[in-house]
Amino acid sequence: MAPGFSAIDWLIVAVYLALLGGMSWWFTYQRSADSRDYFLGGNRMSLWVVAISVLATTQSAATFLGGPDQGFRGDFTYLATHIGAMMAALFVAGVLVPRFYALRATTVYDILGARFGAAATRAAGGMYLVGRVLASGARLYLAAIAVSMILYANIQPANIVTAAFILTVLGFVVTFFGGIRSVLWSDLVQFCIYVGSALAVLVFLWSEIPASGSAIIEGLRHAPGGQNKLLLLNFGFDFADPFALLSIVTGLTLLYIGNFGLDQDTTQRLLTCRDARQGGLALIVSIVIAVPVVALFIAIGQLLHVFYERPDLMGAMAGGGPAQEFDGEKITVFMHYILNRIPAGLKGLVAVGVIAAAVSTLNSGMNSMSSVMVQDFYRPWREARGPAGEMHYVHAGRIGMGIVGIALFLMSVLCYYWQRYTNMALLDFALSVMVFAYSGLLGVYFTAVFTRRGSTRSVLAALAAGFVATLLQQHYIVDRLGLPAAFKSLAFTWQLCIGSALAFAVCQLGRPRASADQIFQNQPRR
């Protein structure tokens, strides 16, 4: 038995695994009629289930562990990012989702084929696949480290690889038979588990602090150094701060448009509803639900600040500060608290919460990447060689998920060894790579929606220009290439604005096909 992990903890993990196994068994009897049913649930999914799934997909084990860190080191300004999220949701629900439904699109990149040609669809889909393997593989690696710390009390290579393999298998098994339908319902279960575990930690942490609620609130309002840790809105003009209000309503709004409307990982869920109106409402509802969930994780971080850094509030129960590393690996303050303070039973529940957050992200990525592989790449190739039944593409989708699962697992292993034996920030790159991809995609989609310009060649050039422009502003690239320090002084939100503007300008250089579909200009918003 792993040190620090009791029998009751293992029992909780076993019950969770049995629950996932039962769900997988049930979905073996829910046959998919065709590829649209497998990838889009036959457009019969409930608005509320879709809304929870969207929320669960956009959060991960990194969010579960990193959210409290935001509250520990900062304030509540991170919560204000939902202003940008709501602005983006309204745009996606009113402008993009109706057009996806009008085309009966299976992937968000189908729509580029109608406007710019099949090559544009494949280019955007290819960028998504590469970026998502890197990003999701890196997140799998981070989740595997957390699981190894909690279950095995160490981060030996064999244990991290084992944890990554277990998480990959869990994500694959839950998704394999039922397709997107099983993903959505399992997301609902995973969401309840990881939010429930976070609530349990919050209650326990609160019980460890002897100060009254009013004293804690007053202490947070007047933190050391004159900081107000309850600050919600930052009206400053610091272009290095991604959570200043100006940054939120510009760059962060663009980021959320990319995530909600141009990333198959999220948008696929919106396409499973009955119609465009339901899909748009599901997105908006998910943002509303996200606010208290994110506030929960920030509140945990705020209480951790009190617990570790406020002897004036802790009194005789004050202890030392949290460790910064575990076996040479940097850890968040929340992970330190999990490893050293929470009791048996609750530790098992938190372990399940981390696993649930990771599996929710993994299974959605597997299904969405498989849908792009099959619908945007394999189906056109196969249909050019003769007809094939719809079940052929369902089977292809399952094979695609197996390929994706292997790719994600190998990427997580690569991240582990790259982190330890090189000085290049592969993990930083992998975690932020989808932001780079959004720069090009935003420029291309804004061209398609708001202008009559653009061509296949200009789309390809715009995707590359947006990616490179954002990449060149990253600190690890600036330092490695010896570029001026000013290149890395902007927050990622402003980097995204610059990359998207450049991609939009490049895409404008193309002349449209005479037969280009005009759905972007003429489709009513319904």
Half-sphere exposure of 356 (CA within 13 A, CB side): 30
Which tokens hold the place of 148? 């190894």
Average per-residue pLDDT in the chain?
87
Share of the chain above pLDDT 90, in %: 46
* pLDDT confidence bin for 169, thresholds 50/70/90: very high
Question: In the prediction, which pLDDT does 513 show?
Answer: 65
In degrees and rounded to multiples of 5, residue 330 shows phi and psi of -65, 135
Closest CA to 260 of 469, 52, 90, 39: 90
Question: In the prediction, which pLDDT does 2 show?
Answer: 42
Q: For 257-404, where are the E strands, in sequence order?
A: 325-326, 329-330
Q: What is the pLDDT of residues 294-350, one digit of tens each?
A: 999 999 999 999 999 888 888 767 666 676 666 666 778 888 888 888 898 899 999
Question: In the prediction, which pLDDT does 1 show?
Answer: 38
Q: How large is the average pLDDT for residues 29-51?
A: 85
CA distances to 121, 320, 451, 485 from 58, rounded to whole Å, are 24, 34, 30, 32
Q: End-to-end alpha-carbon separation of the chain, Å?
A: 57
Share of the chain above pLDDT 70, in %: 92
Q: What is the pLDDT of residues 386-444, one digit of tens each?
A: 888 888 988 999 999 999 999 999 999 998 888 777 665 666 777 678 888 999 999 99
CATH fold of the domain at 7-12+35-522:
Sodium/glucose cotransporter (1.20.1730)
Residue located via tokens 């349990």:
200
Question: In the prediction, which pLDDT does 525 show?
Answer: 41
Question: In the prediction, which pLDDT does 312 show?
Answer: 86
Half-sphere exposure of 467 (CA within 13 A, CB side): 17
Closest CA to 512 of 463, 437, 472, 456: 456
Which tokens hold the place of 437? 């991809």
Q: Is the alpha carbon torsion for 285, 286, 288, 292 positive or negative? A: positive
Higher pLDDT, 73 or 92: 92
Q: How large is the average pLDDT for residues 449-460?
A: 91
CA distances to 50, 209, 329, 369, 414 from 164, rounded to whole Å, are 27, 35, 16, 19, 12
Q: What is the pLDDT of residues 209-246, one digit of tens each?
A: 998 989 999 999 988 888 899 999 888 888 888 889 99
Distance from C-alpha of 251 to C-alpha of 230, rounded to nearest angstrom: 24
Question: In the prediction, which pLDDT does 314 show?
Answer: 82
Higher pLDDT, 243 or 3: 243
Helix (H, G, I), strand (E, B) or coil at 325: strand
Return the H-helix or E-strand segment holding 355.
Answer: helix 346-372
Every domain of the chain and the residues it spans:
7-12+35-522
* pLDDT confidence bin for 377, thresholds 50/70/90: very high
Q: Is the alpha carbon torsion for 223, 228, 232, 236 positive or negative? A: negative
Q: How large is the average pLDDT for residues 88-114?
A: 92
DSSP string, 64-108: HHHHHHHHHHS-GGGGGHHHHHHHHHHHIIIIIHHHHHHTT-SST
Which tokens hold the place of 89? 């949701």
Distance from C-alpha of 220 to C-alpha of 227, rounded to nearest angstrom: 8
CA distances to 57, 413, 477 from 424, rounded to whole Å, are 28, 16, 9
Helix (H, G, I), strand (E, B) or coil at 275: coil
Q: How large is the average pLDDT for residues 487-509?
A: 91
- The whole model's pTM is what? 0.90
